[in-house]
Amino acid sequence: MAVLDREAAKDLDDRDGLPKLPLPNLKDTLEMYLRCMKHLLTEEQFNKTQKIVKEFGAHGGVGEFLQSKLVERREKKANWLNEYWLNDMYLNNRLALPVNSSPAMVFPQQNFRASFDSLRFAAQLISGVLEYKTLLDAHALPVEYARGQLAGTPFCMEQYYRLFTSYRLPGPERDTLVAQESSVMPEPEHIIVACKNQFFVLDVVINFRRLNERDLLTQLEKIVKMADSEEERLPPIGLLTSDGRTEWAESRRVLMRESTNRDSLDMIERCLCLVCLDDASGFELSDTARSTLMLHGGGATKNGGNRWYDKPMQFVVGADGCCGVVCEHSAFEGIVLVQCTEYLLKYMTGSPSKLVRAASVSELPAPRRLRWKCTPEIHKHIASSADNLQRLVKNLVMNVYKFQDYGKEFIKKQKMSPDAYIQVALQLAFYRCHGRLVSTYESASTRRFQQGRVDNIRSATPEALAFVRAMTDETLSSSDTEKMEMFRGAITVQTKYTILAITGMAIDNHLLGLREIAHEMKMEKPEIFKDEAYLISNQFILSTSQVPTTVEMFCCYGPVVLNGYGTCYNPQSDHIIFSVSSFRESPQTCSAEFVKCLVQGLLDMRDLCNKCNSGSDQAEQRKGQTMETHTQTETYWRDKTRQSPSAPTKSRQTVPQVLVRSPDKTNAETQTQTSPQGKALKNGNKS
> Which residue numbers are catalytic?
329
Q: Which residues contact 252 (CB under 8 A, 6 or more apart)?
A: 170, 240, 265
Of the candidates 96, 118, 115, the residue with the CA atom closest to the CA atom of residue 107: 118
Q: Which residues contact 587 (CB under 8 A, 6 or more apart)?
A: none
Torsion, Cα of 638, 639, 640, 646 (10° steps): 70
Task: Yes or no: say if 509 and 660 are a contact pair by the CB < 8 Å rule.
Answer: no
Task: Yes or no: say if 686 and 559 are a contact pair by the CB < 8 Å rule.
Answer: yes
Separation between Cα atoms, residue 63 and residue 52, nearest integer Å? 11
Of the candidates 158, 191, 190, 139, the residue with the CA atom closest to the CA atom of residue 2: 158
DSSP-derived pairing of the beta strands 542-546 and 565-571: parallel
Task: Return the DSSP state at 555.
Answer: E
Packed helices 591-612 and 480-502: angle between N→C axes, nearest 10 degrees: 110
Strands (E), 381-489: 396-403, 440-445, 454-457
Separation between Cα atoms, residue 427 and residue 494, nearest integer Å? 12
Q: Is residue 326 exposed (0-12), middle (13-18) or buried (19+ Cβ within 10 Å)?
A: buried
Separation between Cα atoms, residue 365 and residue 489, nearest integer Å? 66
Separation between Cα atoms, residue 4 and residue 176, nearest integer Å? 10
Task: Yes or no: say if 394 and 301 are a contact pair by the CB < 8 Å rule.
Answer: no
SS3 content of the chain, % helix, strand, coil (to 5): 50, 15, 40
Q: What is the DSSP string of 226-246?
A: HHT-GGG----GGGGGGS-HH
Rounded to the nearest 5°, which phi and psi values hold at 323? -130, 155
Judged by phi (left if over 0) then psi (alpha if -120 to 50, else beta), residue 367 lies in beta
Q: What is the DSSP string of 464-501?
A: HHHHHHHHH-GGG---HHHHHHHHHHHHHHHHHHHHHH
Peptide bond into 349 cis (omega under 30): no
CA–CA distances in Å: residue 357 to residues 218, 348, 352? 15, 15, 10
Separation between Cα atoms, residue 564 and residue 685, nearest integer Å? 10
DSSP-derived pairing of the beta strands 440-445 and 454-457: antiparallel
